[in-house]
Amino acid sequence: MRKVVRILLISFFVSSVSIGQSPSEYVNPFIGTGGHGHTYPGASAPFGMIQLSPDTRLEGWDGCGGYHYSDSVIYGFSHTHLSGTGVSDYGDLLIMPFTGEDRWENGAASGNKGGYGSGFSHFLESASPGYYSVQLKDNNIRAELTTTTRCGFHKYTYPQGKNRKIIIDLEHRDKLLDSDLMFLNDSTIIGKRISEAWATNQHFYFTIKISEPPTDRRFKKNKDGKATKLILEFGAGSPQLFLKVGISFVDINGARKNLTSEMPDWNFERYKKETAEKWNSELSKISITTTSENELKIFYTALYHSYLNPNTFSDFDGRYRGMDHEIHHSDRRTQYTVFSLWDTFRSTHPLFTITQQKRTNDFINTFLNHYLQSGKLPVWELAANETNCMIGYHSVSVIADAYVKGIRDFNHKVALQAMVHSAMQNNSGLADYRTQGYISSENESESVSKTLEYAYDDWCIAVFADSLGFDSLASVFYQRSQFYKNIYNPASTFMQPRFNGGWKNNFKPEEVTFDYTEANAWQYSMFVPHDVHGLMELLGGKQKLELWLDELFTTSSETTGREQADITGLIGQYAHGNEPSHHMAYLYNFTSNPWKGQKYIHQILTTLYYNDPDGLSGNEDCGQMSSWYVLSSLGFYSFAPGSDIYLLGKPLHESAQINLENGKTFFVKTTNFNTENIYVKRVLLNDVQLDRNYIYHHEIKK
């Protein structure tokens, strides 16, 4: 028999919860750098343009963040990195200190023999928000890095009496299309790097200031006569050498202005401290009370990872590169980049509606700028390039979710126009979806997943249109949101691929096929967050839903079919390592036994997140994996973004305090809390017992 002995109190008090130290001191940037987390440990400001981090891996799926904890060689420090993605890009402007003979290549092809890369040890490596340091063993050089929002600061300490050198390598990582590398004066280098990878036309510009002029300089040029590498020699003077780097996606002048504005002096400790203070300000928006130091570290690292993306894209002067690759200007707002929307619409952007309301307005205005400049809302945007990665048009989810929660500082008419435009395209199976009410397997890959996610997105459009008073338009999209029913097979109780008007043969729910996106039928069939009651009717009622979920979490974890590295973190066929499963434990709230959901939420929180490099059960995906943890550990979850309702789960901590941007405080307190009492007995809101297992956004906001 289960224990039902814990009481959850949710109340509004102005109160301070002390965690004993600054929250940034609990962040472990190495979480996710092992396994398949794909994070990086280097220095970045909250939502910063620059991510100054070591590169230990040059290619491969587990090299997407540029660093993997299992590696033993650092090839240098580059200025842009992606956090937890499944596709590789960035790694712009690699700089590496060394001594001795000139070395133009990184040494990867020869096992690092003769290359400028260096071995390193984790025992002589450390990282904290806005700071990274490591001892480079081959030349006994200590490297320290810090950043502002748009600038990076390198501090190198060489052995006494050694001839100090650095290499600047523009060929590092993705394909170089064009480059410039030149001296503006004796101690200032300027240049550009235009490259092709996941972002097919990425512009990157930089200004480097060096603390002393080099005694010698040597360029390496490509077959077109373009300088792509540069070795600088400084002699055996003072052991320390400093470099300040301003970057821009606009032009060299933008990089120069960013450097002058954000990093005017040579005080490394000042910028390190200021960036740590920025992190403390952001991380202090949520305080938790717990007796477990590991919980503190996991929680604040998760919040830290949630706040790394999206990245600032406009320069200090407000200029930014648009989706049309023209230069635009905004005085009021920051333009952002790196929108992993198939992932982040689920938890990260809903978290932002609580803790980052001003930035949420800027994110949505960024979306609308994308639409006005390119004719479409972003799907997976990277450095003013649309990668068209993943499925759905989930910008509409972020817009609708913000609007219903009162975040509305954007042009509603343009937003609705852009949302409808996204839904009326003919690519990716949308033409068939509109005309026949589903996508058929013979015509389009990932047909089941696309049908389900389009239906959810259409509901978001309907909610937004409805809120604005466009009743007839809302009706069209409410009807479209029901198309999920056309791929439900009552004989199997799964969402199945259709084929030539019927069902595709030889269906097995555990089989991973190209009819689903990085998943199988177990992991996708319950993706109807906008109409769970309609889904229950298909299944035969709430008891049938409960039985379906029971089998999901207890059946064999073995999958068949094609290899899919993203299907990880398995509990039965629930796969927490990938996003389609993230809402499923909360479906128990719609059954007669929500305690079962609390059981699995507790299991996920305590067994699939660790204070360890391999501490994530799958790709971090620009904050989504971590944001799920943040919200769920607080005791509630934005189950269907586009609704102002949060489903209640079970808190992981003794208490938590959310300090809202409106100056008010939302306080979560548990009574009779311990690690064995994992079930919620009662819920009180402002000391009044709730007769529902959800709360509204406006109740948090008040």
- Supply the CATH number for residue 200's domain: 2.70.98.10
Mark the ranges of the chain whose per-residue pLDDT is less than 70.
Answer: 1-20
Backbone angles phi, psi at 571, to 5 degrees: -125, 105
Is the bond leading into 651 cis (omega within 30 degrees of zero)? no
DSSP letters for 309-339: -SEE-S-TTSEEE-TTS-EEE-SS---EE-E
Closest CA to 191 of 224, 228, 244, 146: 228
Residue 361, SS3 per DSSP: helix
**Are the beta carbons of 526 and 539 closer than 8 angstroms?**
no
Q: Which domain holds residue 50?
A: 36-283
Q: How many CB atoms lie within 10 A of CB 15?
A: 12
Considering its fold, how many domains does the chain have in total?
1
Closest CA to 338 of 390, 372, 376, 386: 386
Distance of CA 372 to the CA centre of its chain: 25
Q: What is d(CA 166, CA 171) in angstroms, rounded to the nearest whole number?
A: 15
Residue 222, in any domain of the structure: yes
Closest CA to 352 of 627, 625, 82: 627
Residue 279, in any domain of the structure: yes
Residue 195, in any domain of the structure: yes
CA distances from 474 to 425, 464, 480 (A): 18, 8, 10
- CA–CA–CA angle 472, 475, 476 (5° rounding): 95
Residue 208: partners with Cβ closer than 8 Å, 6 or more residues away: 95, 168, 188, 189, 190, 243, 244, 245
Q: What is d(CA 120, CA 112) in angstroms, rounded to the nearest whole number?
A: 12
- 0.95 surpassed by pTM: yes
Residue 156, in any domain of the structure: yes
Residue 187, in any domain of the structure: yes
Helices 471-480 and 412-423 sit at what angle, rounded to 10 degrees? 30
Closest CA to 572 of 586, 584, 588, 587: 584
Q: Which two tokens stand for residue 308?
A: 């790394």
Residues paired with 658 in a beta bridge: 286, 666
Query: Per residue in 515-573, pLDDT tens?
Result: 999 999 999 999 999 999 999 999 999 999 999 999 999 999 999 999 999 999 999 99
pLDDT for residue 502: 97
Residue 459, in any domain of the structure: no
Closest CA to 405 of 350, 485, 451, 367: 350
Sign of CA dihedral 180, 181, 182, 185: positive
Q: What is d(CA 538, CA 678) in angstroms, rounded to the nearest whole number?
A: 32
Question: Which amino acid makes up residue 559?
Answer: T
**Are the beta carbons of 379 and 398 closer than 8 angstroms?**
no
Stated length of the chain: 702
Question: Which amino acid makes up residue 47?
Answer: F
**Are the beta carbons of 652 and 699 closer than 8 angstroms?**
no
Residues paired with 156 in a beta bridge: 143, 241
Distance of CA 2 to the CA centre of its chain: 36
Q: What is d(CA 25, CA 129) in angstroms, rounded to the nearest whole number?
A: 8
Residue 684, in any domain of the structure: no
**Are the beta carbons of 536 and 578 closer than 8 angstroms?**
no
Q: Which two tokens stand for residue 75?
A: 């090839």
Residue 181, in any domain of the structure: yes
Residue 143: partners with Cβ closer than 8 Å, 6 or more residues away: 77, 97, 133, 134, 135, 136, 154, 155, 156
